[in-house]
Amino acid sequence: MRKTLLTGALLAAMAISVAAAKQTSPTISGEYLEVRSCDVFTGPCFANAEMGLTGKEAILVWKIRQGVWRGTALDGMNVIAVVQTDDTLGDLRYQPRTGKAVLIVDSRADAQQIFALTDLAKSMAGRLISEVTEVKTSSIEMNVGGCGKAGCASVKVPGLVAISTRCFGDEDHVCGNEETFYPPLADVTAHPAYTEVASYTGTGLGLTWKSIGARSAFLGTFTR
């Protein structure tokens, strides 16, 4: 009897351990791209010159490799948040911002997946997406590492978003004192990249914007 009780207790403990492991393990993962309307990899003198004037807009892109969110499978899906705030987007750990956003959801998504994708974007961006002004559906083409380099990526959403990034070159170090001045806006693992072009030409925010030739991108991965 004693042996049976000990065996039962051991099995129960193992079951609890397995359940805890399942709860803490990532359920969704993929690639992440972010561009802003100000430099993120820069020297303090350049960053200080932009504060309060630029950097109030950003585009956040999640390309889901595989996983489930809110009970819905999202393998291969994409979602984009085009964000606007009333001040320069800095380090959100110390300067929390609230903003409004247009969400662009993969046109292949069904109703449940649209809900899950919008919820994922809001969860990843936190207070940055305090108000969703529009939810659009469209084909979203995102390529990462297409040139074989870590900073190379592109995003195309017909009539709405166009992004192209590359790795930094020697010519991109203007003052020689550059650093990652701002961290990414979402909870991701990412490194800075050079923005060849980034633009938003849709509705929902009362503005369109375009950035060419800036040290304003992040490229990386996410797990949640």
Query: Tens digits of per-residue pLDDT, 114-156?
Result: 999 999 999 999 889 999 999 999 999 999 876 666 789 999 9
Residue 45: what pLDDT? 55
- Write the CA distances from 162 to 33, 84, 140, 203, integer angstroms: 12, 17, 10, 15
| Contact by Cβ (8 Å): 163, 198 | yes
Q: Please state which of the ranges 2-6, 46-50, 88-92 shows the lowest mean pLDDT.
A: 2-6
Write a three-state SS string for 147-204: CCCCCCEEEEECCCEEEEEECCCHHHCCCCCCEECCCCCCCCEEEEEEEEEEEECCCC
User: Please, which residues have CB within 8 angstroms of residue 121's CB and are 6 or more apart in sequence?
Assistant: 60, 62, 79, 80, 81, 101, 103, 129
Residue 135: what pLDDT? 97
Q: What is the pTM of this model?
A: 0.83
Domain ranges of the chain: 29-223
Mean pLDDT of 10-18: 42
Q: In this structure, what token pair is assigned to residue 183?
A: 């961290």
| Contact by Cβ (8 Å): 88, 216 | no
pLDDT digits (tens, 9 = 90+) for 179-217: 677 899 998 999 999 999 999 999 999 999 999 999 999
| Listed residue (34, 120, 35, 37) closest to 73, CA to CA | 120
How deeply is 135 buried, as exposed, middle or buried, from its count of CB atoms within 10 A (0-12, 13-18, 19+)?
middle
Q: In this structure, what token pair is assigned to residue 4?
A: 């049976």
pLDDT digits (tens, 9 = 90+) for 26-77: 599 999 999 999 888 865 555 555 665 566 999 999 999 999 999 999 999 9
Q: First and final CA of the chain: distance in angstroms?
A: 44
